[in-house]
Amino acid sequence: MNLSYAKLLITALCLLLHIGSVTAGMAPARLYYNDGSHDDVLAISYSAGTMTYKKSEKSLNLQRVQKPKLEAVYFYEPKAYKEAMGHYHSRNYAEAKEIFAKLETEYKTVDTLPDNYSTLSGFYKMECSRRMNDLEALSAELEKFHKKGLSRETHLQQLEVYSFWEAVRLGDWDRLDRLAVEWQPRSLAAGMRVQIEYCHALALDNLCQKDPSRKSQAINAYNRVLTADGTTSMELVLAAALGVLNLYSNDDGVKLAMRVWGTDDENRRSAGYERLLEANTLVKFYKQSGFDDLQPLAKEHEKFLEFNPPKADGGGEPAAESEEEE
């Protein structure tokens, strides 16, 4: 065989093998040039300012363009990514995560460009782990994640908020308490603020086991989560409701108020009595919101429904500040 022909054959075979290996990950994109023109292409890879692409899926010709001629790249949304986001918004996180993981790998060759679907898929894969409360997976995924392709401020802030979830994973409650206080002045989207409040509530919940004087702080933190938009933070709102109900159930003042309810020993000015009424209101909210269909209440929580606030009759004792009972 002629040597030059053999080299040509080997080159052609290598080209075909390369094309075969990248076909699944070709990203539909529009290339914008500095002369004002543009091309719709299938992006294969991007490195050091050079884009390698094909004009069509069947084309055997690989073409390249580099800066400064290449001014910008816009990626079209892949069908699979749209499907994954549909699962994500429907709270089918396991199904969504599986697709995101595949897309993250398929489009890895263009992951240094802004808003590429490898990096975006990797980000939402982590969000699926967080929303499923799989903090071990989130920690491992975050360690390997490269954020260079992210350009949206909310995405970048969410990466910072993951430090709270890492502290939860490690049970580092003192650090988490300090971190939440440090972040208090920062301006954040509601969804991220809710995450911080929930993580802080978990920290305070654990810290008040040793320091009961912090129980009110834990209850207040959980209640701040409950004011969130349940359509976007339902998992946290549900978890916060159960968290604060557990605090009420284990509160000595609440237990006392339940024992003396309706007797001469009932003290409507006590903190335990007020918390018992709060628990009653929360259980009603829980059921009215449909949370009971997602996570049925425990019997000790259901019992709070028996303690309805007395009907106002125009008389009774004058309002007074509650006496703290711990």
In degrees, rounded to 5, the angle at the alpha carbon of residue 89 between the alpha carbons of residues 87 and 91 is 70
Residue 66's H or E segment, with its range, is strand 63-66
Q: Which CATH number fits domain 19-76: 2.30.30.100, 2.40.50.100, 3.40.30.10, 3.60.21.10?
A: 2.30.30.100
Q: Is the dihedral of CA 175, 181, 184, 190 positive or negative?
A: positive
53 token code pair: 């692409």
Please write the tens of the pLDDT for every residue from 91-144: 999 999 999 999 999 999 999 999 999 999 999 999 999 999 999 999 999 999
Q: What is the pLDDT of residues 251-265, one digit of tens each?
A: 999 999 999 999 999
For helices 153-170 and 173-183, angle between their N-to-C axes, nearest 10 degrees: 150
Q: CA-CA distance, 249 to 280, in Å (whole number)?
A: 11
Say what the pTM is. 0.82
Secondary structure of residue 64 in the 3-state scheme: strand
Q: For residue 214, give the H/E element and its range.
A: none
Question: Domain limits of the chain?
Answer: 19-76, 77-151, 184-306
Q: Which pairs with CB-CB distance under 8 Å and at least 24 residues apart come from 305-310?
A: 305/280, 307/257, 307/258, 307/261, 307/276, 307/277, 307/279, 307/280, 308/280, 309/277, 309/280
Q: Give me the pLDDT at residue 167, please.
A: 98
Instruction: Give, for all 326 residues of the chain, the pLDDT tens digit.
Output: 444 444 433 333 343 333 333 345 688 999 999 999 999 999 999 988 899 989 888 888 898 998 989 999 999 999 999 999 999 999 999 999 999 999 999 999 999 999 999 999 999 999 999 999 999 999 999 999 999 999 999 999 999 999 999 999 999 999 999 999 999 999 988 899 999 999 999 999 999 999 999 999 999 999 999 887 656 788 899 999 999 999 999 999 999 999 999 999 999 999 999 999 999 999 999 999 888 898 999 999 999 999 999 886 554 444 444 444 44
